[in-house]
Amino acid sequence: MSNSFTPPYKNITEASRIYLLPNLFTAGNLFFGYLAIINCIEARYSMENEVAHHLYIYAVWFIIFACICDVLDGLVARLGGRESLFGKEFDSIADVVSFGVAPALMVFFLILPPTEGLPVFRQAGWLIGFIYLLCAGVRLARFNVLTTPLLPKEKDGESKAFQGFPTTAAAGTIASLALVIMRFDDLRWFSILLPALMLLIAWLMVSSIPYPSIKSINWHAEARMRPFVLVVALVSVGFLFRECAFAVFFLCYIFYGLWMHLKGYLSLKRGR
């Protein structure tokens, strides 16, 4: 039996097709990441604390909007059968800006400035931000390699789980926690833990720990009445407490993956 592999694209023109709707969402992702960076820079050099506070909050919401655009571009491309090699590469470039540079810059300016805060952060704040940015770039490059259609698929087919913590969720975690810290004065002490959490997220991005993907959701599946009502109720509560809802969701996502990985490891060890 022949093991020859047939590339999914006939030529460069077919591989580089630009489908309008998915790439508009990707451009929106890049646009919101750019706005987040601008607001972080303006907030850092603003002479009024209240103005700076509002600019940082705008930056947080721009990062969250970028996360929403990133989810929608892939969803629209898959539902409409409009996935292309160009769209995949464009998405990763936008992700480096919105989910790599923007969160790293925001935490560096807000939590780890070289002229304020704890001495250890003054000396190593830039390094923590760079480690996060480096891991985000490596994570995206690895994702492109693992999902490229130019390589033959494994026998089991394409996995519906992410290998490592996705950059979209990483940026959403950092942005939503920064929003909680700025909104609630009683939780400002948590800013001390944010650099450590940032390093944990950086490690998770380049790890092999599987995290569930939105691709695993069957949007045509039937739902029972109670789970459906529960989901609607949770969404409603999340909208009412939106400053905290995003942070709770992303933290649960982080520790769900860690718990399932640990559970699988312990089960495997007991089996041996």
Kindly report the three-state secondary structure assignment for every residue of the chain: CCCCCCCCCCCHHHHCCCCHHHHHHHHHHHHHHHHHHHHHHHHHCCCCHHHHHHHHHHHHHHHHHHHHHHHHHHHHHHHHCCCCHHHHHHHHHHHHHHHHHHHHHHHHHHCCCCCCCCHHHHHHHHHHHHHHHHHHHHHHHHHHHHHCCCCCCCCCCCCCEEECCCHHHHHHHHHHHHHHHHHCHHHHHHHHCHHHHHHHHHHHHCCCCEEECHHHCCCCCCCCHHHHHHHHHHHHHHHHCHHHHHHHHHHHHHHHHHHHHHHHHHHHHHHC
Q: Which residue has the higher pLDDT, 48 or 30?
A: 30
Which pLDDT tens digit goes with each residue over 202-221? 999 999 898 987 665 555 55
- Looking at residue 133, its pLDDT comes to 94
Range among 107-116, 178-187, 230-239, 254-263 with highest mean pLDDT value: 254-263
pLDDT at 240 over 70: no
Maximum mean pLDDT: which of 93-107, 114-128, 137-151, 235-249: 93-107
Confidence grade of residue 49 (pLDDT, cut at 50, 70, 90): confident
Task: Say if residue 78's pLDDT is above 60.
Answer: yes
The average pLDDT across 90-110 equals: 91
Three-state SS across 127-140?
A: HHHHHHHHHHHHHH
In the prediction, which pLDDT does 11 show?
60
Q: If you average pLDDT over every residue of the chain, what do you get?
A: 80
93-119: average pLDDT: 81
Quote the pLDDT of residue 170: 94
Cross-strand partners of 161: 212
Q: Please say whether the beta carbons of 175 and 99 come within 8 A.
A: no
CA atoms of 165 and 167, how far apart (whole Å): 7
What is the mean predicted confidence (pLDDT) over 194-203?
A: 90
What is the average per-residue pLDDT within 9-18? 64
Summarize pLDDT for 134-158 with one digit per residue, the tens. Answer: 999 999 999 888 877 666 666 554 5
pLDDT at 190: 73
Residue 1's pLDDT is: 46
The model carries a pTM of 0.83
Supply the pLDDT for residue 125: 76
Domain ranges for the chain: 12-271
Please compute Rg for the chain using Cα positions: 20
For 189, the token pair is 């002490």
pLDDT at 162 over 70: yes
- Please say whether the beta carbons of 165 and 209 come within 8 A: yes
